[in-house]
């Protein structure tokens, strides 16, 4: 059994980007730029946005965190996003989700220029991905693809079972694994909350991708011997031994499943760190497109 080290791979990607950025800045007058917009006081969102800023600083990207009040109106937020669409110093715009209930997330995502949509959530990017055109790919699925690639896990003709159908992970990873290229070309099944007998499908998976947000949902009896297990879940469960009173676990029961799997991602340290690395990669890609226009 091999534990897939997402922390290590993400550090390699960050280092690669840092080197490329240093080289290109020598030739160009401006660095790649990312703005992260945070609305309200959600503690988890604050942690995510700060880690994104830190990654930018480390690589040498120009970055800004714009903190806005919970009470900002939808129209005000739309106008702020439009200003960043026009601002040539920023190649990427990220509006941290979730947004307060009075603001439509769909409306805000559609306001972001699809060329600056480094989350890959804009309908134009979603559409391009589904028809196999070059696009900005959502960061978590993109990170999973990169882990499979760097660990040389065969995907062509393999059965990938995705558990969960979210717009952020389930649907885009299913689309990516369907693409006709050597890093995908899989047979894909998606199961979800209305699927009858989920384990009937998960037992057939050569590669199982769990993205449902239920702690320890996937157990050893639900998987095939020597499968590859990708755990996207980040769930807090009570832990009286931890000073914080909780610990983070995935959607996969790591202890039992790791004994049967060939490859498995841990939580934390698996898919999580890859998400930020791929956000940086998307920002760099958007920058390259901009400077070569
Ligand atoms: N909230 C949780 N995950 C994400 C993400 O990948 N991007 C944004 N913008 N918000 C999130």
Which pLDDT tens digit goes with each residue over 2-47? 999 999 999 999 999 999 999 999 997 799 999 999 999 999 999 9
Same domain, 103 and 194: no
Decide if 96 is catalytic. Answer: yes
* Mean predicted confidence (pLDDT) in 95-108: 98
Can you tell me which residue has the tokens 């703005």?
Answer: 35
Check whether residue 157 and residue 228 sit in a common domain.
yes
* Residue 183 and residue 74 in one domain: no
CA–CA gap between residue 95 and residue 77 (Å, rounded): 10
Picking from 232, 275, 5, 14, the residue whose alpha carbon sits closest to that of residue 140 is 275
Query: What is the reported pLDDT for 125?
Result: 98
pTM of the predicted model, to two decimals? 0.97
pLDDT average, residue stretch 195-211? 98
Q: Give backbone dihedrals phi and psi of 132, rounded to 5 degrees, phi first.
A: 80, 20
In a domain, residue 107? The reply is yes
Ligand 1 centre distance from Cα of residue 265 (Å): 20
If one counts the domains in the chain, the total is 2
Give pLDDT tens digits for 223-275: 999 999 999 999 999 999 999 999 999 999 999 999 999 999 999 999 999 99
Q: Tell me, yes or no, whether 283 lies in a domain.
A: no
286 belongs to a structural domain: no
Give 97 Cα–ligand 1 centroid separation in angstroms. 5
Domain that holds residue 103: 28-113
Task: Check 91, 96, 158, 251 and give the catalytic one.
Answer: 96
Give the H/E segment covering residue 36: strand 33-39
């Amino acid at each position: 059994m091999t534990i897939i080290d997402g922390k290590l791979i993400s550090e390699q990607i960050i280092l690669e980007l840092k080197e490329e950025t240093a080289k290109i800045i020598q030739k160009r007058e401006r660095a790649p730029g990312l703005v992260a917009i945070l609305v309200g006081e959600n503690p988890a969102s604050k942690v995510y946005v700060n880690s994104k800023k830190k990654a930018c600083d480390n690589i040498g990207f120009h970055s800004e965190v714009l903190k806005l009040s919970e009470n900002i109106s939808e129209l005000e937020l739309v106008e702020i996003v439009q200003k960043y669409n026009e601002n040539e110093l920023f190649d990427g715009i990220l509006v941290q989700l979730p947004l307060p209930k009075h603001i439509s997330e769909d409306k805000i995502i559609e306001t972001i220029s699809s060329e600056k949509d480094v989350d890959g959530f804009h309908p134009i990017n979603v559409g391009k991905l589904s028809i196999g055109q070059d696009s900005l790919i959502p960061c978590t699925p993109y990170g999973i693809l990169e882990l499979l690639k760097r660990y040389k896990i065969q995907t062509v003709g393999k059965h990938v079972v995705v558990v969960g159908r979210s717009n952020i992970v389930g649907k885009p990873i299913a689309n990516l694994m369907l693409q006709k290229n050597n890093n995908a070309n899989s047979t894909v099944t998606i199961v979800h909350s209305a699927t009858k007998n989920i384990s009937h499908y998960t037992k057939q998976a050569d590669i199982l991708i769990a993205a449902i947000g239920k702690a320890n949902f996937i157990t050893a009896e639900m998987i095939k011997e020597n499968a590859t297990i990708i755990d996207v879940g980040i769930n807090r469960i009570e832990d009286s031994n931890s000073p914080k009173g909780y610990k983070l676990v995935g959607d996969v029961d790591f202890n039992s499943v790791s004994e049967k799997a060939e490859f498995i991602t841990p939580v934390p340290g698996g898919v999580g760190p890859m998400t930020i690395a791929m956000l940086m990669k998307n920002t760099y890609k958007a920058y390259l497109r901009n400077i070569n226009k």
